[in-house]
Amino acid sequence: MGHLHCNSKRKKNKHLDYRERLKIEVLHKEGKDPKEISKAIGCTERTIQRELKRGEVSQVTSLWEEYDSYSAEIAQNKYRGAMEGKGPTLKIGHDHKMCEYIEKEIKAGMSPDVIARRIRDRDDFKVKISTKTIYNYVEKNVFLDVDYKDLIYGRYKKTKGKGLNRPSYRNIKGRSIEERPEEVEERKECGHWEMDLVVGGKGKSKEVLLTITERVSRNEIIRKLPDRKQESVIHALDVMERQMGRIKFRKKFKTITVDNGSEFLNSSEMERSCLSKKKLRTRVYYAHPYSAYERGTNENMNRMIRRFIPKGADISKYTKKEIKRIENWLNNYPRKILDYRTPREIYAEVA
């Protein structure tokens, strides 16, 4: 008996493979019935009957007479098509209440991570869902009213980089981030901030936003400036110092890390107190050129601000009241890195 007719033991519940389908095609052409083919393959007769139906094709003889035959290739292609359409059922199932809740939270500006945490903390949802699952559902358009553009970070993926380890040549007099105290890098104490500007679209008004982010708590301060000149940045710091007083300002702003933009080049004026010219109110450190990740906390907050003020927008059209509302939203937004607490809660404890 040839190898096509051997009846070796076959694993139960195993799907037919292409090699077995070729055997079925040969045996069928030899005139074997389903019972004989099932013994040769090592499966049930019913399996062979279904398989013959799956791969059934109409062929024509040389005398133009039609007859039904079995094609292993046709059967294999149908099998693959069925497998591609097969997949696990959605974990969220037919839970319309949870779907509506997730859509509502995404529209409210909550991230999938925060939503997943809130679902775990609730007793009215039987199924618990992970952050990755929510991202997958958004990508696969499971939800009717939200997609990636509605997410707080969109498709952003965090990347890591390394500093170029050289100062800006036009800012050689400023303090490098390499001179910054170790406790700042390790986030061991409160009072160390990162600062940057959020600018509007080209050809629009000159107004910009000064954003200052505390490294430990992620607490955010936003101030609207008339332009991006260094005099405007210094004036904003002067106003805050006058409102707080020099000692309180110095305690709150121990260090500020900035990039090498022209608006931040005058470090001596940013550092000196406007209330006591001979004393410092803070210390300014400069990140390496092209190393935005060295101010990653502030960069992350600026991306969140862009959810409210998109790139290309005219910042002059946003009132101070609207800017304050954005600031409050950011400071009351729970973060995974803060164990799902808000920047305002953490800052109130550590400040």
Q: In this predicted model, what pLDDT tens digit does every residue of 225-236 receive, in sequence order? A: 999 999 999 999
* The predicted structure's pLDDT at residue 67: 77
Q: What is the pLDDT of residue 324?
A: 97
Count other Cβ atoms within 10 Å, centred on residue 120.
11
How much is the pLDDT for 2? 46
Give dist(CA 319, CA 188) in Å, integer: 36
Q: What percent of the chain has pLDDT over 70?
A: 87
- Which of 19-23, 25-29, 192-196 reaches the highest mean pLDDT? 192-196
- Cα end-to-end span (Å), the chain: 86
DSSP bridge partners of 208:
199, 225
pLDDT at 299: 95
Strand, helix or coil at 177? helix
Task: For residue 236, report the phi and psi dihedrals to the nearest 5 degrees.
Answer: -65, -40
Token pair of 290, please? Answer: 């092209």
Residue with tokens 């409102």, as numbered in its chain: 243
Collapsed DSSP state (helix, strand, coil) of residue 97 = helix
Alpha-carbon span 229 to 259, nearest angstrom: 14
Of 6-20, 27-41, 168-182, give the lowest mean pLDDT range: 6-20
Residue 12: which pLDDT band, with cuts at 50, 70 and 90? low
C-alpha span between 329 and 321 (Å, rounded): 12
pLDDT tens for residues 122-164?
A: 888 878 888 888 888 888 777 777 887 788 766 545 445 444 4
Q: What pLDDT score was predicted for residue 254?
A: 97
Strand ranges inside the chain, DSSP E: 56-60, 66-70, 175-176, 192-199, 208-214, 220-225, 255-258, 283-286
Tell which residue, 247, 241, 177, has the closest CA to residue 215: 177
User: Alpha carbon of 90 to those of 105, 131, 139: distances in Å?
Assistant: 20, 14, 13
* DSSP of 221-248: EEEEESSS-HHHHHHHHHHHHHHH-HHH
Q: With bands split at pLDDT 50, 70 and 90, how would you rate the model's confidence at 285?
A: very high
Q: Which residues of 331-341 are buried (b: 16+ CB within 10 A; e: fewer)?
A: bebbbeeeeee
Token pair in block for residue 199: 């600018």
- pLDDT band at 80; cut points 50, 70, 90: confident
Category of 159 on φ-ψ map: left (φ > 0), alpha (ψ -120 to 50) or beta: beta
DSSP structure string for 273-335? -SS-TTSBS-EEEEPPTT-GGGGHHHHHHHHHHTTTS-TT--GGGS-HHHHHHHHHHHHTS-B
> What pLDDT, on the 0 to 100 scale, is given for residue 300?
94
pLDDT of the residue at 7: 47
The stretch 200-222 carries a mean pLDDT of 95
Residue 10 has pLDDT above 70, yes or no: no
Average model confidence (pLDDT) across the chain: 86
- In angstroms, rounded to a whole number, what is the distance separating the alpha carbons of residues 264 and 64? 88
Residue carrying structure tokens 């696969």:
140
Q: pLDDT tens-digit profile of 291-334?
A: 888 999 999 999 999 999 999 999 999 999 999 999 999 999 99
Give the model confidence (pLDDT) of 93-108 as tens digits: 667 788 889 889 988 8
For 169-350, which CATH class? alpha beta
Domain ranges of the chain: 3-84, 96-150, 169-350
What is the C-alpha to C-alpha distance for residues 125 and 123, in angstroms, rounded to an integer? 6
Whether 274 and 211 have beta carbons less than 8 Å apart is answered as no
| Range name among 66-80, 86-100, 250-264 with the lowest pLDDT average | 86-100
Distance, CA of 311 to CA of 306 (rounded, Å)? 7
pLDDT tens-place string over residues 39-58:
998 899 989 998 998 888 88
pLDDT of residue 99: 85
